[in-house]
Structure 1
Amino acid sequence: MGDKETVQLIKQMNLGSRQSFDQFYEAFIPFVFQIAYEILGDYTEAEDVSQDVFLEVLQKIDQYNPNKGSIKAWLAVKTKSRCLDRLRKKKPILVNRLEKIALGKEKGADLEFLEQIEKRIILDALNHLPPEQREAIIRSYFNGETHREIAGAMKKPLGSIKSLIRYGLNNLRKQKSIVHWTEPNGGDGK
Structure 2
Amino acid sequence: MSKQHLEGERLLMEMGRGSRAALEAFYERYAAFVYRIALRMLHDPMEAEDLCHDIFLEAYRTAAQYDRQRGSVEAWLAVKTRSRCMDRLRRIQASQQREQTAATHQLQDDSVEESVLAKLERETVRNVLNRIPEAQRQAVYGAYFQAKTHRELAEIMARPIGTIKSLIRYGLHNLRKQLAETGWHGSGKGGDKRG
TM tier, smaller: 0.3 to 0.5
TM-score (norm 2): 0.47
Structure whose CA Rg is larger: 2
TM-score (norm 1): 0.48
* Higher RCO (CA 8 Å, separation ≥ 6 residues): 1
